[in-house]
Amino acid sequence: MKIRKSRSSLLFALPLIVAGTFAIDSAVLAARPPVMEQGIQFGDLQNGRVMVWSRSNRPARMMVEYALNDQFTDAKTVRGPYALPGTDYTAKQELAGLPLGRDVFVKVWFEDLTNARTKSTPVMGHFHTIGKNDNVHFVWGGDTAGQGFGINEAFGGMKIYEAMRQVKPQFFIHSGDNIYADGVIPASKTVENGQIWTNVVTPEVSKVAETQAEFRGRYKYNLLDTHVRAFNAEVPQIWQWDDHEVVNNWSDSKDLSADPRYTVKDVPLLVARAATAFQEFSAQRPNNALEPGRVYRKVSYGPLLDVFVIDMRSYRGPNTNNLQTEQSAETAFLGAEQVKWLEKGLKDSTAVWKVIAADMPIGLNISDDFVNNPPKLWEAVANGNNGPALGRELEMADLLGNIKANNIKNIVWLTADVHYAAAHYFDPAKAQSTNFNGFWEFIAGPLNAGSFGPNSTDATFGPQVVFYKAPPTGQSNWSPYAGLQFFGDVNIDKTSKAMTVDLKDINGDSVFSKTLNAE
């Protein structure tokens, strides 16, 4: 006789079926430890503190062990945060109370959240805390994986990161465009001289980033590169952002209605998703609860150096003709609160050198108009009119004037954005707006992206082009094959207090050097 089960008996049995499934899944997880596919990063090293970042591939708890020797004797272990789906399994933990002037060795692993507490294979790293008896040595650059130039394994991957690692810097400033969320990375493309550039490709880089997963996938893509992961495990980083973390030249006025690549047309929504991914994947120390996503901050390195990391993107007004005669919300670039913070920080700083880490140059003409020449919209500070300060230049003129009024010495601007190497001296004797003390601005990049330039200069603040290296006139978007990839290398001597800035190429060879004596 055939037995017919009632609907109620099937419902009664369902919890047993589900429970059995969960038990099987738990057993599978217990036998398969978490994996740290993206390695580790260190961030915002200062005053015996550093942030440690990593990512699990499933729910787990971050664990960090550190010691002052590579045998890990007398090591300390920190039970870190949980890595859960809400942060795409990323986690970061601060280490504090580290002795200055010492090498610190770190071991990171994840412990899963099953009863078995299965552990991932640890990833090792190390860095040096800067003490009062140390010289200061760091590198900077920007613009990673842009214009469709991703990880070319036949080329050797993102080789410039290995060139930077080889100079053994104490830290690194990424000057923005950590990713190119608005650019597709194809499997291959034809470049200069008919060469073929090939890329490792993932689904997230095969279209412009719109979803939260796609923005996260851009950061994970860069971390597929072995040189990037090796660099991250040895060199603490300071990240800032610019436009390509979201979409090209974005501001509150950005309009994507005519861009067929985007189904999401709401720029604020794209900014929200991009900012979330940026904070998740950077080793940046979180700001306080008043503005938890704030990017601008000061990072101190003892008596020789303070780094003022500024944000030229989040508080700007719309991109306009930039010719307004009075300051307003429309002409804001850093914004009033950030300018006030920067002025006070520079005035209060007791460090010999004050580096302003900017995500865009001051005196270069950078267009946000792909139709008109001359442009009707401007992306950065300059407006191409070569006259006294107007538009966003008014805010910059006030900042430079404040620096002069307070007699603040030894300020150097470091930036990227324009995809070539340059050294500019801003000379008030050759400027149209003259109320400032002369200063240097150095430009590095790109870091595995297309090479461009040079841009024309705007005479408002008298920039003198002392050096530049870029593709030949009339040519642009050269691949890394051409070797026109650049990073900056800065050394501050503890005895003489002199700062030496080198611009170096993809092989680590210096193409320009300038020594600045401290006043």
Residue 413 token pair: 């601007």
pLDDT of residue 31: 64
The verdict on 481 and 510 lying in the same domain is yes
Tally of CB atoms within 10 A around 103: 12
The verdict on 79 and 123 lying in the same domain is yes
pLDDT of residue 474: 84
pLDDT at residue 401 tops 70: yes
Please identify, among 80, 107, 129, the residue that sits at the C-terminal boundary of a domain: 129
pLDDT of residue 327: 98
The verdict on 304 and 416 lying in the same domain is yes
pLDDT digits (tens, 9 = 90+) for 346-377: 999 999 999 999 999 999 999 999 899 889 99
Q: How confident is the model at residue 193 (pLDDT cuts 50, 70, 90)?
A: very high
Please identify, among 112, 129, 146, the residue that sits at the C-terminal boundary of a domain: 129
CA distance 10 to 33: 35
Strand 421-426: give its sheet, edge to edge.
Answer: 297-301, 305-309, 353-357, 411-415, 439-443, 421-426, 463-469
The verdict on 157 and 73 lying in the same domain is no
* Domains of the chain: total: 2
Q: How confident is the model at residue 253 (pLDDT cuts 50, 70, 90)?
A: confident
pLDDT digits (tens, 9 = 90+) for 410-423: 999 999 999 999 99
Residue 308 token pair: 């003022």
491 vs 163, 237, 359, 467, CA distance in Å?
A: 16, 16, 21, 19
pLDDT digits (tens, 9 = 90+) for 102-127: 999 999 999 999 999 999 999 999 99
Please identify, among 129, 151, 168, the residue that sits at the C-terminal boundary of a domain: 129
The verdict on 114 and 149 lying in the same domain is no
DSSP letters, 36-100, are -TT-EEEEEEETTEEEEEEE-SSSEEEEEEEESSTT-TT-EEEEEEEE-GGGTTEEEEEE--PPT
pLDDT digits (tens, 9 = 90+) for 269-309: 999 999 999 999 999 999 988 898 999 999 999 999 999 99
The verdict on 382 and 504 lying in the same domain is yes
pLDDT at residue 186 tops 60: yes
The verdict on 160 and 250 lying in the same domain is yes
pLDDT digits (tens, 9 = 90+) for 131-142: 999 999 999 999
161: CATH: 3.60.21.70
Q: Which residue range forms the structural domain that includes residue 500?
A: 136-516
The verdict on 263 and 326 lying in the same domain is yes
The verdict on 115 and 81 lying in the same domain is yes
Q: What is the mean pLDDT of residues 506-513?
A: 98
pLDDT digits (tens, 9 = 90+) for 317-352: 999 999 999 999 999 999 999 999 999 999 999 999
Q: For the chain, what is the mean pLDDT?
A: 94
Write down the pTM of the prediction: 0.93
Cis peptide before 454 (omega within 30 of 0): yes
Q: Are 77 and 64 in contact (CB under 8 A)?
A: yes
Residue 389 token pair: 């300060």
pLDDT digits (tens, 9 = 90+) for 447-466: 999 999 899 999 999 999 99
* Residues 6 or more apart in contact with residue 95 via CB below 8 angstroms: 49, 50, 51, 52, 64, 66, 78, 104, 106
pLDDT digits (tens, 9 = 90+) for 7-32: 333 333 333 333 344 444 555 655 68
The verdict on 118 and 179 lying in the same domain is no
86: CATH: 2.60.40.380
Which residue type occupies 71? Answer: Q
The verdict on 218 and 296 lying in the same domain is yes
The verdict on 224 and 95 lying in the same domain is no
